[in-house]
Amino acid sequence: MNSTHRFVAFVLPVAAFLLFPSHLDARTWTSTDGKKLDAIFESFDGETIQMKLKNGRSVKFPVSRLVKEDKEAAERFSLVGDDAMTVFSAKKIDYLLATNLAKNGIRSFNERLPDDLFVRRVYLDIIGRIPTREEFLKFAESARKDKRAMLVDELLASSGRSSHLFNYFADMYRLKGSGVARELDYAPYLEWWRDSLEENVSYNEMVREMVTATGNIGHNPAIGFLERDEGMEFDAFSNFGQVMMGIDVSCAQCHDHPFEDWTMNDFYQMAAFFGQTQRSTGRYAAAGSEKSVSVGIPNAPKDWASNFKKYAAKNGVDMKDRRQSRTFNYYLGALGLNVADNEAIEIRIPKTIDDLGGQVVTPATLYGEDAAGSSMTRREALAEWLTNSTNERFAVNIANRMWERAFGKALVEPVIDFPMDWEKQTGQPEVLKFLGQEMARVNFDLREFMRILYYTQAYQGYSTYDRAIDEGDHYLFQGPVLRRMRAEQAWDSLLTLAYGSEIDSIYGGDGSFLRELMNVNFEEDSMEEVFEKFKAYKSVRNVGSKILVDTGSLDAKDPEIPQVAGIPMLRSSRIAQPASASSLLSSFGQSDRMVTDNHTYDGTVPQVLALMNGPVTDRLTGGESKIVEDLEEFDGPDDKVRGVFFTMLSRYPTETELKKGLAILEDYGDDGIRDLAWVLLNTPEFLFVQ
């Protein structure tokens, strides 16, 4: 083993773990009248205890009605505040990992990262960019013992967290706001993602909103999820399975699943939960007959569209003019981004499938309990089944993904299709099981869940970089794995060097006004009101959807937002999704959002050429740039060279590196700072998260 020398520093965290009360486990509570209840402690305000029942529901119970022993337990548990819970959970993860390492003859985690590398890593992992020199110094000056935890908390509380998390979900959920015919019209859905993540809406709630959404995109942007694969209902279902269940059932669309115990019929039955979901105008299989049925704009009265067209024609829209009629139809299309539950339609197995073709299928779940609920729509029943606490897989799925984000490798793979018997297929069944429980305990609060992961000792060690990862069947997670920056991390880091940390707070406006233009109530709004919205929509289109989508604002030409090679210098989460094909983001492998998790980490020659000679590099090393301006003010060439290294790589140069840097400054004077910045940008060290 090549990195044996690293295995020296971390003491196994067993002892600390044992000191914590086991209030995360369900215990049996006994009331004064002898009744017993199994529940997990949640909170205690001195009078009432809140506990969570096995079915996931929280109940309140007056402490006066509990036996003495349980009163004391409640008091003891309540002393453990939120922070302590987080620390406790992190320690338990460390304990589980360490136990497993010990079983395999490994005595400890990788050596604890020094502060400089730790700071660089958490900035990149949590907010998606490298720290500025000022940010690093602020950390270095703090004398607090718990400053690492403080930094994690601070970053998680900043808007950088949601920005970087957006990039992750944009890849996973294939968020696309450019290059589709309706690029403008999807803007509210992207904005819904940005807002939900910024507000830290719990993940199960977001999923519930997406699965059950109805209405038009202006009214309820979460329908964007269901509209993403409009016209491809089975592909839409496959994508649902991959992201929300961690099951890739696309194979079962044409033949029985090769590994799991599922038939094609099972696939279509599960898909039937979306069988009465009307996503657009068009023909659907009719419920209760062999025929198909033609339906208009979802949620709209049947003749609404033709009436509106007449109204528009009367009020100056020349339908014979190609341009005018096209814009009008775009607007109708935008209003048609609309989802309804329609009992007149059904899902039918495609005719191309032998034996089963043409059959209508009734909904049934692929695994676990049935989804039932007579008073619910099919999708409501599905969402209830999916996010219910008895569906362990749902929690494990997102927990496994968040783990992959932190450690560079998932506990069970592939994340879009992990086996049903995952407990047998991971080297760390206890860890994954615990993570699933923790996800449920924090009620799918991803920020809190991430806090637990970034608090672990396992995370805070050096990256593993020997062959243990590739060779072993199961990696034991003695540390995160070495990985290249995501395209978005590279982009946001370059912007940080050129403009400083201000990039975090430049948003380029939001798309909410656009959302209003598409928010139409077909029953209540008058034709006149809708026509006014259409006129505003038309003017937006005329200005150019590209500008709008790039920045979320019509003020894109505002000189406040600099552009380089036609791309606004905003964080990757705020520009076109995905960024244009000629951008640095694209050459670094940003997902094209065609299929789930399509980001790549491979190097290519065009990518390297972009780093050498591309417009963003030129902006950084050629023109006005923050790093150059800052460092010119430093006294003496030594400090300048040190400053460049520190700003770019979060470390000081070695003696030899310093000499080489000084030689450059000797040749070119202060201009040599640009050369040095170029040099460090073009070393692999810059691109990797150690």
Partner 1 sequence: MDIKHLAGNSDFSRRHFLEQTARTSLGVSLTTTFGSALSGQLRAEEAKTPEGGGSAKSLIYIYCSGGMTHLDTFDPKENKEVMGDTKVINGSVDGMRFGSQLEGIAKNADKFAVVNSMSSRNGAHAQARYQMMTGYNQRATIVHPHIGPFAEKYFGKRGDLLPDSVVINRGTSNSGYLDPAMSPLPVANPESGIANASLTTTEERFSKRMEMSLDIGQNFIDKYKHYTSPKGYVEFYDQASRLLRSEELKVFDLSEVEEREKYGMNSLGQGCLLARRLVENGVRVIEVHSGGWDMHNDVVGSCETRLPPFDQALSSLVEDLESLGLLESTMVVVSSDFGRTSRINDRAGRDHQPAVFSTVFAGGGIKGGQVYGSSDNEGRRVADKAVSVEDFHATIGYGLGIDLEHAIYSPSGRPFVFGNHGKPVTSLFG
User: Which residues sit at the interface with partner 1, rule CB under 8 A?
Assistant: 2, 174, 181, 228-229, 232, 235-236, 238-239, 242, 248, 250-251, 258, 320, 322, 417, 465-467, 482, 484, 580-582, 586, 589, 592, 594-595, 598, 600-610, 612-614, 617-618, 621-622, 654, 657, 660, 664, 667-668, 675, 678-680, 682-685, 687-688
Strands in 382-534 per DSSP E = 483-484
Cβ partners under 8 Å of residue 302, min gap 6: 296
Nearest to 594 by CA among 180, 34, 233: 180
- Report the distance separating Cα 322 and Cα 71, nearest Å: 76
Query: Least separation, in Å, of the C-beta of 542 and partner 1?
Result: 19
Between 291 and 322, CB nearer to partner 1: 322
Show the tokens assigned to 543.
């200005």
Nearest to 480 by CA among 496, 498, 459: 459
Query: Least separation, in Å, of the C-beta of 121 and partner 1?
Result: 15
Q: What is the Rg, in whole angstroms, of the alpha carbon atoms belonging to the chain?
A: 28
Between 45 and 261, CB nearer to partner 1: 261
Structure letter (DSSP) for residue 554: G
Query: Least separation, in Å, of the C-beta of 685 and partner 1?
Result: 4
Query: Least separation, in Å, of the C-beta of 660 and partner 1?
Result: 6
Between 442 and 611, CB nearer to partner 1: 611
Between 218 and 578, CB nearer to partner 1: 578
Query: Least separation, in Å, of the C-beta of 60 and partner 1?
Result: 45
Between 102 and 594, CB nearer to partner 1: 594
**Residue type at 491 in one-letter notation:** W
First to last CA, the chain: 19
Query: Least separation, in Å, of the C-beta of 557 and partner 1?
Result: 23
Cβ partners under 8 Å of residue 268, min gap 6: 347, 349, 356, 359, 361
Q: What is the dihedral sign for C-alpha 350, 356, 361, 363?
A: negative
DSSP string, 63-96: GGGB-HHHHHHHHHHHHS-HHHHHHHHHHHHHHH
Query: Least separation, in Å, of the C-beta of 225 and partner 1?
Result: 13
Query: Least separation, in Å, of the C-beta of 500 and partner 1?
Result: 22
Measured CA distances, 538 to 215, 495, 531 (Å): 22, 34, 10
- Report the distance separating Cα 626 and Cα 562, nearest Å: 14
With 0-12 CB in 10 A as exposed, 13-18 as middle and 19+ as buried, what is 296?
A: middle
- Report the distance separating Cα 12 and Cα 107, nearest Å: 8
Question: What is the β-pairing status of strands 48-53 and 215-216?
Answer: unpaired
Between 322 and 424, CB nearer to partner 1: 322
Between 329 and 604, CB nearer to partner 1: 604
Query: Least separation, in Å, of the C-beta of 327 and partner 1?
Result: 15
* Max CA separation in the chain (angstroms): 88
Query: Least separation, in Å, of the C-beta of 329 and partner 1?
Result: 13
**Residue type at 394 in one-letter notation:** F
Query: Least separation, in Å, of the C-beta of 533 and partner 1?
Result: 27
Alpha helix positions (H), 544-635: 545-551, 584-587, 605-613, 615-621, 626-632
Between 60 and 255, CB nearer to partner 1: 255
- Report the distance separating Cα 13 and Cα 90, nearest Å: 10
Between 292 and 388, CB nearer to partner 1: 292
Between 90 and 247, CB nearer to partner 1: 247
Between 315 and 604, CB nearer to partner 1: 604
